[in-house]
Structure 1
Amino acid sequence: MHHVDTSERPVVLIWEVTQACDLSCDHCRADAQPDRHPDELSTAEGKRLLEDAAAFGEGQLVVLSGGDPLVRDDIAELVAYGDELGLRMTMTPSGTRSLSTGRIEALADAGLKRIAVSLDGGSAEGHDAFRGETGSFAETLRAVEDAREVGIPVQVNTTVCRETVGELPAIRTLLTELGAVMWSVFFLVPIGRGRVLEPIDPAEADAVMRWLAAVADEEPFGLKTTEAPHYRRVLAQRSADVDSNSNPGGRAGVIAGDGFAFVSHTGEVYPSGFLPQSVGSVRERPVHELYREAPLFRKLRDRDGLKGKCGACPYRTICGGSRSRAYAHAGDPLASDPLCPYVPSGYDGPLPWERESSTPTA
């Protein structure tokens, strides 16, 4: 699975099974609502989507997300169906009371391979404030305990923005205590409700990534970034300090449309949940065909087609920049990622942070 041909299959396929959720978190991409949408993919349509996903090949990773996937009463049935098809079924619940001990046991029985919970603070105070619900932190820790008891590995997802960046060291400590297998660190893309939050600036993002690289060396859990592929550049620069002949970072970073795909609750296919440009519906065309053939996905997989400093960057094959953040910032998914401070030597073209005035309001 480590050297996936990302022109043929995604490393990660996310299916937003619903946008319904009881929480209204500040950073929500989905603008989640309390009620289910009448046009959501049905159980039968969901099963067909999973069959199409299995056409990507053995062991395809599928993440059931939301909203809160547990709002759907067929969720364990969908997990079991995907598991029988040979898919690696995982889930990102909202960490609310819906994730009861009984539901976790049912998901384990259905074959769920991993559960990802969100921690955006190292204590109840920070986390609950960020998620807008008192008791969320305690519920999340209880759910982690339940998952461990039934043998489901736990991943922790954390959003990095101005409000949470100071919490990262405490969250790191918590991960070790919880026995988590992976820390997935999401660098905010200002979209959906997330537009009200303040991102950190580029220099600070690099500093955080250097710190994360050290954490990855020291801790037993794995570490990956989401919408921050320049973590791979930081790793490459770090290893170049140690060994100037080292291969810069190995395999390509997973970016929207290139190793990553997203199916919305109504079946629209996007390069990422943070790049909501649909290339078609799974109701009309199988997801594996859309992923492989849609013109937008093909464009996103051509690292030489990137614009601005991303297009001129020697690290573009291992990084590629956040296409979602470029789209949110400039309205163009091939533009430079404004969170990256690195300027390629000899590059004298436009810099993304110099054109704030033309940021689209949409």
Structure 2
Amino acid sequence: MNWISYCDRPEVVVWEMTRACRLACTHCRAEAQPKRDPLELDTNEARTLIDHVAAFSPRFFIFSGGDPSRRPDLVELVAHAASRGLRVALSPSATPDMLALDFEALAEAGLACLSFSLDGATEETHNTFRGVKRAWEWTMQGIAATRKAGIPFQINTTITAQNYHEFDAMTTLVESLKPSVWSIFMVVPTGRADAHQLPEPKQAEALLNKLCELSRRVPFAIKTTEAPQYRRIQLQQAERAGLERPHVGGTNDGRGFVFISHRGEVCPSGFLPVSAGNVRRLPLLQIYRESPLFRSLRNPTALKGKCGRCDYRMLCGGSRARAFALRGDPLAEEPLCTYQPKPQE
């Protein structure tokens, strides 16, 4: 899809089913709470939302949280979404609630993928990151249960200044686990995360270059979240090596991507917590297409600073969430990018 297509409909839709979660992650964008919010979308509202999403056929529909395992209607809603032709992914937290799920029932319901977070190469690092002593153990048990049920799984890794140095060891660990996808997320200082968790721009650039090199030798797919400059690096490395130009995607916050909160608020992403409307009052697609916020995020000429001058702005565009978190402006330049645009003629 391209910029024009993204103006019509999103490619990825994420629904935050709940903010309830038993973990206490240091970077949690949702600032998850122990108990469920009584104002969450209920089952009937969720089914209506799913029907609306199915009508425009995005590439992925992701159930997220908090911890979706806390919703007793989870399997029912997965089945409903799959029956409507949606490719459904689930992103639970590794908790006893997740381990209590019926993984076989999720597979039968039509779940296409299940993701697990691993944020350290060791048990100690990961548990510290997640704020609970047995988080590593529960994650490994969840991966085993997912394999047994025959559900493809994805590993998500958040990169911060505190775990950046473990990237090589994390690579070895992920290779041993054999996921279908490894997704690298560059932390955004929102929710519980703060600016002290950000790696240096040069560190981020070096890591993404390593990731690109890794992508050419591993059997699983590699993607990034809130690191759209990875697409630039993919093109640069291919050009330097004389390789065929790779096909790279172009979604970004509000551009091919939309997030619905547990209360129905529609945001460009979970890491850019600015609501453009609520699905309880307006159809999701109307909010996505017509709200001034979303329209500005899909306008490459609206970008400011070096992002607005960048020759890769159509493909990358920088993390709009990180710009908002650090600059207070979702159209400001990307704080973690080292690239200097070519002079405009």
TM-score, normalised by the number of residues in structure 1: 0.91
For residues 303-318 of structure 1, what are the structure 2 equivalents within 5 Å?
303-318=300-315
Q: What is the identity, as a one-letter code, of the residue corresponding to 2:87?
A: R
Q: Distance in 1 between matches of 2:273 and 2:317?
A: 18
Give 1:325's aligned residue: 322
Hey, what's the Cα distance between the residues in 2 that align with 1:146 and 1:230? 35
Q: Which residue of 2 aligns with 1:34?
A: 34
After superposition, give the CA deviation of every residue in 1:326-357 in whole Å (9 maximum; x if it has no partner).
Answer: 1111111111000001111338xxxxxxxxxx
The verdict on how the C-alpha distance between 1:19 and 1:4 changes in structure 2, with shifts beyond 3 A counting, is farther
Matched, 1:261 2:258: yes
Instruction: State the one-letter code of the partner of 1:29.
Output: R
Deviation at 1:171, TM superposition (A): 2.0
Deviation at 1:16, TM superposition (A): 0.3
For 2:312 and 2:54, the matched residues in 1 are separated by 32
Equivalent residue number for residue 291 of structure 1:
288
**1:13 paired residue number:** 13
In structure 1, list runs of 5 or more residues that go unmatched.
348-362
Indicate the SS of the match to 2:116: strand
Q: Deviations over 1:87-145 (max 9, x none)?
A: 11111100111122642222112111100000001221111111111111111011111
- Looking at structure 2, the residues matched to 12 and 66 of structure 1 have their Cα atoms a distance apart, in angstroms, of 16
User: Which deviates the most, 71-80 or 192-201?
Assistant: 192-201
In the TM superposition, residue 40 of structure 1 has moved relative to its aligned partner by: 0.4
1:4 deviates by 9.4
Equivalent runs, 1:68-217 vs 2, <5 Å? 68-100=67-99, 102-195=101-194, 197-217=196-216
The CA deviation at 1:3 is 10
Task: State how far apart, in whole Å, the 2-side matches of 1:169 and 1:101 are.
Answer: 33
Report the equivalent of 2:46.
46
The SS at the match of 2:96 is: coil
Following TM superposition, by how much is the alpha carbon of 1:197 offset from its aligned partner in structure 2, in angstroms?
4.6
Letter in 1 for 2:22: D
Matching residue's letter, 1:33? Q
The 1:307–1:93 alpha-carbon spacing in structure 2 relative to 1, beyond 3 Å, is same
Aligned equivalent of 1:273: 270
Change (3 A) 1:3 1:324: closer
C-alpha contact (below 8 Å) 2:311/2:342 kept by paired residues:
no
Deviations 1:200-243 (A, max 9, x none): 01111110000000111111110011001000111111112123
In structure 1, C-alpha distance between the alignment counterparts of 2:169 and 2:33, rounded to whole Å:
31
How many residues align? The count is 344
Check the 8 A contact 1:250/1:318 in 2, yes or no: no
Go from structure 1 to structure 2 and tell me whether the alpha carbon gap of 1:92 and 1:22 turns closer, same or farther (over 3 Å shift): same
User: What residue in structure 1 maps to residue 279 of structure 2?
Assistant: 282
SS of equivalent to 1:186: strand
CA distance in 2, matches of 1:242, 1:161: 29
8 Å CA contact retained: 1:326, 1:336: yes
The one-letter code matched in structure 1 to 2:343 is G
Residue 152 to residue 101, structure 1, CA distance change in 2 (3 Å): farther
- Is 1:235 aligned to residue 234 of structure 2? yes
In the TM superposition, structure 1's runs of 4+ consecutive aligned residues that sit over 6 Å from their partners are 1-4
The 8 Å contact of residues 8 and 56 in structure 1, kept in 2 or not, is answered as no
Q: Is the 8 A contact 1:120 1:167 kept in 2?
A: no
Kindly indicate whether the alpha-carbon contact (under 8 Å) linking 1:23 and 1:132 is maintained by their aligned counterparts in 2.
yes
Distance 2:40 2:16 in 1: 10
- Provide the C-alpha distance between the structure 2 equivalents of 1:103 and 1:2, rounded to a whole number of angstroms: 38
Aligned alpha-carbon RMSD (Å): 1.8
Counterpart amino acid of residue 261 in structure 1: V
Give how far 1:176 is off.
2.0
Change (3 A) 1:106 1:84: same
Task: Mark the runs of 5 or more structure 2 residues left unpaired by the alignment.
Answer: none
Distance verdict in 2 for CA 1:138–1:76, change over 3 Å: same
Q: Structure 2 CA distance, aligned partners of 1:273 and 1:197?
A: 20
